[in-house]
Structure 1
Amino acid sequence: MSPVSWHCCVSSLPTCGPSNCERRLHLRRGRVRRRTGAFSSMPARPLEGQPEVALARAPWRVIPGRTRLDGPGLHGAAALCLLFVSVDVFAQFSGSASLLSDYRFRGVSLSHNRPAAQLAVAYDDASGWYGGAFASTVQLFYPSRELQAVSFIGYASRGPSGLSWEAGADYSVVTGARSYSYPEAYVGVASEKVSARLYYAPRYFGQDSDVIYGEINASQQLLDRVRLLAHGGALRNNSNDAYGPRPDRHVFDASVGVSLDFDQFSVQLNWVGITSTNTLYPVTRTRSKNGAVLILSRSF
């Protein structure tokens, strides 16, 4: 959930990521499966793959997945306690915990180019509904430290053409004196290896401006446990502040990386770049707008 995700998970989470955790959710009985990747910009990860059929019921159990960033992608951690009796195997709970050398959200470092910790949890129902939460440590104004939490909900389905589609919404909250909370809605489509999402936020990070963000994410299997990852995104803000310095109206970000996946662990190395640091994000100017990001994740 790059998020994880944000919207997990280098995302989200919020990719979140990721939500910056790379996990695979197999949504069965004609449902699509969603795979979280560090390159997505939110915890609710991009859709991926073909549906799988499974007609058995079984007691609830943790489904092993593959963790990644963005993902995405997630910040800080909150204790979670869940009690389950017996549910359909088609409904799945999953999660991931990640350590990142830098938390890059849509190309911008929300951790002041410093390490961050992220946690993501997600639920996928057989009907196509999914939801979850993502949390990550952030450092918007040095030297203060904050926590970002993102909740998300959405619906995913696979059409007769084989393409998957989804629609959902998330809400991001950042602790601290000022309010940087904002809602966001998104729609997306995906094939087996490529996914795309379009987001709209009316008050981006609490700013007096609405924002549209579009992204394309791709994954290519190189070896049995090795994948090549790529991401491209474009943000347009409609800020008309006549008094303060105006951020660039269009900002582009991109990343390319490689992921080494094990049963419940993944190691991901990405190179992330952005065209400008003059953005709407409430962060102090960071040391570098481009750089490498290392992500260690464990799924559960």
Structure 2
Amino acid sequence: MSFRPFSRRPGAVRLVSSVAAAALLTASSVGAAARFDGSAALTSDYVWRGTTQSRGDPAAQAGFKAGTGGGWYGAVWGSTVEFAADTEASSELDLTFGWSGALSEDWALDLNLTHYRYLSASLDLDWTEAIGLLTWKQNYWVQLGYSNDALASGETGVYAQLGAKWPLSDQVRLDTVAGYYALDGVDGDGYAHVQLGAVWAFRAPFELRLTAHATDSAAKTLFPGLAGSRVEAALQATF
């Protein structure tokens, strides 16, 4: 994500090729991996921390993860984006390396570094974030993210999130998230966002997701036309 405005750029084919290539590198770097996971999705809008990354248009997404028995893992995730024409960025590729594991019967921890890359961009939009995720009983979590180059701005950013999910049945659950992004060098110091989603796992490995997003007025000032209230619908498969 960046402070720059967006415009439509094609990139789904390059995205799939890049994710596949990065996945092979990830699997090789992990070595004797004990577990492989993946996902693919089509969404009506790519929304990240409350703001659209695709200008409200559909996006194609895919991800792969390779993990060892000791908790170490490498992951790659990508999405098409619609950035300003002068950036020439059409795809986002997130490269992650970290550790996750159980702290007790109820608590689990995930610590990682995530590098956000914007393929074919003519400007330097890439940046890196350290992220920690603490989960309780698999259904409640708190996340913290820190970067000294948040959104490739050259400024410090700290992101905090609280989340929860409530299974209503074996196939249906509700998800909710509240987050605040503290950003140095911007008026008002940052912005807040919330989201509420419903997920229907109608047939393995497929699920439908409907998510309502909302941000505060500070986000609207920071990201004109990209923040505010919006609804995202997605079809996802996990394997």
TM range (shorter): 0.7 to 0.9
Name the structure 1 match of 2:169.
223
Q: What secondary structure sits across from 1:149 in the alignment?
A: strand
SS in 2 for 1:278: helix
Structure-1-length-normalised TM-score? 0.66
Is 1:206 aligned with 2:152? yes
Asked if 1:268 is matched to 2:209, the reply is yes
Q: Render the CA deviation track for 1:253-293: whole Å, top value 9, x for unaligned.
A: 110010001311010000011112233xxx6x326621110
Report which stretch shifted further, 246-255 or 230-239: 246-255
- What amino acid does structure 2 have at the position aligned with 1:195? W
The structure 2 residue matched to 1:189, chosen from 131, 134, 138, is: 134
Question: Does the CA contact (< 8 Å) of 2:89 and 2:118 recur in 1?
Answer: no
Structure 2 residue aligned with 1:291, among 215, 230, 237?
230
Provide the rounded CA distance (Å) in 1 between the counterparts of 2:208 and 2:104: 35
| 1:104 paired residue among 33, 47, 52 | 47
Q: How has the CA–CA distance of structure 1 residues 142 and 222 changed in structure 2, closer, same or farther, with 3 Å as cutoff?
A: farther
Shift of 1:201: 1.0
3-state secondary structure, aligned to 2:15: coil
Gaps of 5+ in 2: 2-13
CA distance, structure 2, for counterparts of residue 77 and residue 134 of structure 1? 10
1:134–1:151 CA contact under 8 A, matched in 2: yes
**Contact between 1:184 and 1:201, CA under 8 Å: does it hold in 2?**
yes
Greater share of strand: 2
Q: Does 1:154 align with 2:98?
A: yes
Give 1:113's match in structure 2, choosing from 56, 60, 80.
Answer: 56
| Residue 208 (structure 1) shift | 2.2
* Distance in 1, Cα, partners of 2:79 & 2:105: 37
Letter of the 1:273 counterpart: A
Q: Distance in 2 between matches of 1:106 and 1:92?
A: 29
User: Could you say if the C-alpha distance between residues 172 and 200 of structure 1 is closer, same or farther in structure 2, counting changes exceeding 3 Å?
Assistant: same
Indicate conservation of the 8 Å contact 1:248/1:278, yes or no.
Answer: no
Q: How many residues align?
A: 214
- Give me the CA root mean square deviation: 2.5
- 8 Å CA contact 2:180–2:191 kept in 1: the answer is yes
What is the SS of the residue equivalent to 1:273?
strand
Shift in alpha-carbon separation, 1:220–1:179, aligned structure 2, 3 A: same
Identity %: 20
> Take 1:287 and 1:199, find their aligned partners in 2: how far apart are those partners?
22
Q: TM-score, normalised by structure 2?
A: 0.81
Distance in 2 (CA, whole Å) between partners of 1:179 and 1:138 is 16
The superposition leaves residues 86-111 of structure 1 with CA deviations (integer Å, 9 ceiling, x where unpaired) of x98x8111111111111110001010
Q: Give the structure 2 partner of residue 164 of structure 1.
A: 108
Unpaired segments ≥5 residues, structure 1? 1-5, 7-74, 240-245
Higher helix share: 2
Partner of 1:24: none
Are 1:259 and 2:199 an aligned pair? yes
One-letter code aligned to 1:194: Y
